[in-house]
Chain A
């Protein structure tokens, strides 16, 4: 025969602070931690690809500035829309937007405003370059705007990974 002891209390401080979870949550946590530990190995390659894309962009712009012959303009323009660079940027952008979507409203709005403002700046400069492809100032502005956009996206992505 067992006797059940009923504990009686008079204050909140007497309640136990800890409650054992009904199941062990550690295996799922450990699996995610281990998965995240593997990711940094791939990050340098991703960053190198971005750097290579930006380098291609700058070489293209330099070529464009050295000569305004139709062929050089073509090289510059093809570099400005380097497919690999655009793909990397789009991937980073969509990953950041997914992360931002999980944030509280105020923080999300603030980050989205900065991301959108930089994207618009890039698009505006690209549009101006479409009308004046040989304009060295616009080309330089575009490189700077692209760099600012990438830095902004990378900063958001890295800061979101921390917490």
Chain B
């Protein structure tokens, strides 16, 4: 597939908000999200010839973006990520609050989550990737992914509906 800069710019224009949104939520830092977005599109340009049109371009860009963010994290911190095993949820339905909250309040609560839980929640809750896709993107086991999602939802509920947690 021959990629022209003009055609690639239209891809950037269409997809940069979701890529930036994803990076912003994963990094919690605007400047870092800008860097990650830029790097995502540079890698996408370099690998454009290998892009398989059967997979959605948004998914492909999101995978690159998650890789970029994860690599940056690994470079910045050599600390090993530890995960405390938690019981898996019995059901996996959609997480819905009993009482609506302001959009900004929900966004802030998501950003305040611990890193591992936030990563999973952003990918599966906001971008609606399956457990399998989310786990593959983050390089974690599907069981870990489910447990982190359960943990994230519980923390969100505690934060946004204190009466429900009580």
- Quick check: B121 and A12 within 8 Å, CB to CB? yes
Cβ contacts under 8 Å, A33 to chain B: 5, 8, 42, 45
- Quick check: A25 and B38 within 8 Å, CB to CB? yes
Q: Is the interface of A mostly helix, strand, loop or mixed?
A: mixed
- Quick check: A17 and B47 within 8 Å, CB to CB? no
* Chain A window 1-20, contacts with chain B (Cβ cutoff 8 Å), 1 for yes, 0 for no: 00000111111111111111
> Is A22 on the interface with B (CB-CB < 8 A)?
yes
Query: Least Cβ distance of B61 to chain A in Å?
Result: 12
Pick the most buried of A16, A18, A29, A36: most chain B CB atoms within 10 A of its CB: A29
- Quick check: B107 and A21 within 8 Å, CB to CB? no
Size band of the interface chain B makes with A: 35 or more
The B92-106 residues at the A interface (CB cut-off 8 A) are 94-103, 106
Cβ contacts under 8 Å, A6 to chain B: 102-103
Cβ contacts under 8 Å, A38 to chain B: none
> Within the complex, which residue of A8, A20, A32, A34 is in contact with B20, where a contact is CB–CB below 8 Å?
A20
* Interface-lining segment among B10-18, B82-90, B130-138, B140-148: B10-18
Known: A17-B21, A18-B18, A21-B37. A26 touches B100 (CB 8 A): no
- Quick check: B75 and A9 within 8 Å, CB to CB? no
> Is B9 on the interface with A (CB-CB < 8 A)?
yes
The A91-108 residues at the B interface (CB cut-off 8 A) are 102, 104-105
Some 16 contacts from A to B, beta carbons below 8 A apart, are: A6-B103, A7-B103, A10-B96, A10-B98, A12-B110, A15-B110, A16-B21, A17-B22, A18-B20, A19-B21, A21-B16, A25-B12, A29-B12, A33-B5, A102-B71, A162-B47
Known: A15-B107, A18-B21. A163 touches B43 (CB 8 A): yes
Known A7-B103, A32-B42, A33-B42; 14 more pairs at CB < 8 Å: A7-B102, A9-B97, A9-B103, A9-B106, A10-B99, A11-B96, A18-B20, A19-B21, A22-B34, A26-B16, A28-B38, A29-B38, A29-B45, A161-B46
Query: Least Cβ distance of A80 to chain B in Å?
Result: 37
B9, closest chain A residue (CB): A26
Q: How many A-B pairs with Cβ below 8 Å?
A: 106
- Quick check: B16 and A25 within 8 Å, CB to CB? yes
4 nearest A-B residue pairs (beta carbon): A18-B17, A12-B125, A19-B21, A8-B100
Complex Cα–Cα for A23 and B125 (A): 27
Complex Cα–Cα for A126 and B98 (A): 75
> Is B126 on the interface with A (CB-CB < 8 A)?
yes
Pick the most buried of A9, A22, A105, A163: most chain B CB atoms within 10 A of its CB: A9
The A108-124 residues at the B interface (CB cut-off 8 A) are none
> Within the complex, which residue of B12, B18, B74, B99 is in contact with A26, where a contact is CB–CB below 8 Å?
B12
Complex Cα–Cα for A102 and B94 (A): 39
> Is A30 on the interface with B (CB-CB < 8 A)?
yes
